[in-house]
């Protein structure tokens, strides 16, 4: 892993986690390229801190290649909301992320951080059954994207957050590793903080973590891990062991 990230792509920049990433990156020396599907959001993303904005659709491989060109890091926070559109066709969580991973391989990206979800893969039991039923296509798509990323050869970190909230960052998170570890909720701002930290934390490379805030934790936790998280401009992130 390189600690010299010069140009960084934030995919899904107009979403909740994406905008938190832009705000956190605003005061760094990193050139930040934001990607969104909405041309109407270009100005907002620039105001949030993006140096460059690309409008495109990751379901188009050409757009994915254009987005990641000349970037040496990727923070991928794309996502689909439940609804009729999630019941048919390709989802950005799956096919879109797959296109971005392939483009990242071609662009020699040094680190790819993917926001997945508790409930994906071996963390299936981390969300209640009714939510698994509602989100099954999204969860399956994210599971496919995780598999593509793990086998791509690109150094990666996968962050699986619990239920996302718009509360302020707590700076106090539980990090599990192993699938059925933690469940509950977490502010998007805390997820963004961990995603950015993953780029600068050698121990996070090629690992998958389930994360919730301590206040949002539900049930029994297991498989907690402690890493020396490094965030630009900060000494670290408080975690529970």
C-alpha 76: how far from chain center: 5
Catalytic residue among 117, 123, 198, 213: 117
Dist. CA 66–CA 44, nearest whole Å: 21
**Residue 95 DSSP one-character state:** I
Q: Is-contact 2 110, C-beta < 8 A?
A: yes
Instruction: Give 55's strand partners.
Output: 36
pLDDT of residue 99 exceeding 80: yes
Q: What average pLDDT does the segment 8-25 reach? A: 95
Q: Is-contact 100 107, C-beta < 8 A?
A: no
pLDDT of residue 63 exceeding 60: yes
Place of tokens 């105001």: 47
Confidence band for 126, pLDDT divided at 50, 70 and 90? confident
Give catalytic status of residue 213 as yes or no: no
Q: Is-contact 171 190, C-beta < 8 A?
A: yes
Q: Is-contact 220 125, C-beta < 8 A?
A: no
Q: What average pLDDT does the segment 161-166 reach? A: 95
**Residue 187 DSSP one-character state:** E
C-alpha 16: how far from chain center: 11
**pLDDT digit string (tens) for 172-215?**
999 999 999 999 999 999 999 999 999 999 999 999 999 999 99
Confidence band for 79, pLDDT divided at 50, 70 and 90? confident
**Which comes out higher in pLDDT, residue 133 or 226?**
226
> What percentage of the chain reaches a pLDDT higher than 70?
92
Between strands 31-36 and 52-55, the pairing is parallel
């Amino acid at each position: 892993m390189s600690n010299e990230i010069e140009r960084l792509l934030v995919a899904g920049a107009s979403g909740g986690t994406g905008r938190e990433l832009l705000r956190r990156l605003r005061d760094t020396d990193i050139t930040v390229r934001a990607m969104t599907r909405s041309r109407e959001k270009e100005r907002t993303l620039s105001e949030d801190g993006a140096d460059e904005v690309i409008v495109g659709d990751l379901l188009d491989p050409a757009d994915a290649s254009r987005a990641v060109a000349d970037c040496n890091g990727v923070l991928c926070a794309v996502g689909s909301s439940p609804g009729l559109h999630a019941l048919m066709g390709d989802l950005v969580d799956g096919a879109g992320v797959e296109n971005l991973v392939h483009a990242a391989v071609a662009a020699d990206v040094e680190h790819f951080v993917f926001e997945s979800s508790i409930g994906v893969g071996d963390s299936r039991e981390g969300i209640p059954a009714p939510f698994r039923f509602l989100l099954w296509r999204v969860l399956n798509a994210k599971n496919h994207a995780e598999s593509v990323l793990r086998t791509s050869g690109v150094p990666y970190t996968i962050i699986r957050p619990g239920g996302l909230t718009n509360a302020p960052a707590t700076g106090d998170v539980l990090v599990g590793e192993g699938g059925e570890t933690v469940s509950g909720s977490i502010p998007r701002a805390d997820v963004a903080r961990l995603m950015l930290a993953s780029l600068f934390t050698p121990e996070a490379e090629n690992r998958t973590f389930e994360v919730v805030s301590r206040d949002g934790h539900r049930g029994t936790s297991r498989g907690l891990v402690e890493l020396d998280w490094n965030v630009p401009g900060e000494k670290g992130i408080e975690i529970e062991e």
